Amino acid sequence: LVLHNYTKIRKCNHCERLYYYNHSNQKYCNRKSTYEDYTHLECEQAVRNIKQRLSERNKSIQSHFCRFIFMCIFRIVLQNGC
C-alpha cells in the first residue's frame, strides 16, 4: 500500500504492528515494545537488548558445556591411568 511516493506501510519485525516507513532498510517501528521486561524500549532497541541477552546466555551455556566435557575426559583419563 502506497500513500505517497516515498511513504509505505510495513509490518514491524518485532511487534508485528503496521507502521509507515521511508527507508527500505527500516525493519522496526518507533513504538514501545510489547514484550514483557522491554515495554520501556522502542522495538529496535528491544530487539538489540534481547539479542545481546541471548548471546550472553549462549556464551554461558557453551562455557558450562566445555567445562563439563573437559571434566568427563579428565575423569576417563584418571580412571584409565593415562
Report the pLDDT value the prediction gives residue 79, as an integer from 0 to 100.
85
Query: Can you give the length of the chain in residues?
Result: 82
User: Could you report the average pLDDT of every consecutive run of 10 residues in the chain (82 residues)?
Assistant: 67 94 87 94 96 91 87 85 64
Residues whose CB falls within 8 Å of the CB of residue 2, separated by 6 or more in sequence, listed in order: 8
Given this model, what pLDDT does residue 36 score?
A: 92
Single pTM value for the model: 0.67
Angle in degrees, CA 24, 27, 31, rounded to 5: 125
Identity of the amino acid at 52:
Q
What residue has cell string 518485532?
14
End-to-end Cα spacing for the chain: 71
The CA distance from 5 to 81, in Å, is 76
Place of cell 534481547: 50
